[in-house]
Amino acid sequence: MKAIYPGSFDPITYGHLDIIRRAAMLYDELVVVVLINDAKKPLFTVEERVEMLKETVGELPNVTVKASPGLTVNFARKEGASVIIRGIRAVMDYEYELQQSTINMMLADEIETVFLLARPEYSFLSSSAAKTVASYKGDLKHFVPNNIAKRLEEKLHK
């Protein structure tokens, strides 16, 4: 069975990485998809985010990384995926994800959404938090892998 894990991944955090590893154990194939959203102003380009993801999940043989504009369900259909993976950190995430999942069900009822709960040590973690810590030259060891920390530092402190 094939699943997709969509997100902005600006940048990938240990929380994202944990969800990717766990989803990769549950499904035969997992496509991590960087969603292109013109309404957002990301720190990293789409190409940079795809590259960072590939560097970070390269050791997982059943995981691929792609980018896509448009609706997540359309990407899932194009990929032949029957599952959309979403991570949940707190009640606030659940409310947002419930709304998105309901819309996806209305658009593509053949595609299921599966929620994976964040491990407690990652429940506080977000890309925004990592960017904030990096902007003040804080220690990123609990937020992102070393290769991502280096890229954040380069991007924010040129």
Enzyme catalytic residues: 16, 40, 89, 127
Residues in the chain: 158
Distance (Å, rounded) from C-alpha 141 to C-alpha 4?
27
Tokens 């997709």 sit on residue: 4
Q: Hey, is 33 helix, strand or coil?
A: strand
DSSP notation for 63-130:
EEEEEEES-HHHHHHHHT--EEEEEE-SHHHHHHHHHHHHHHHHH-TTSEEEEEEPPGGGTT--HHHH
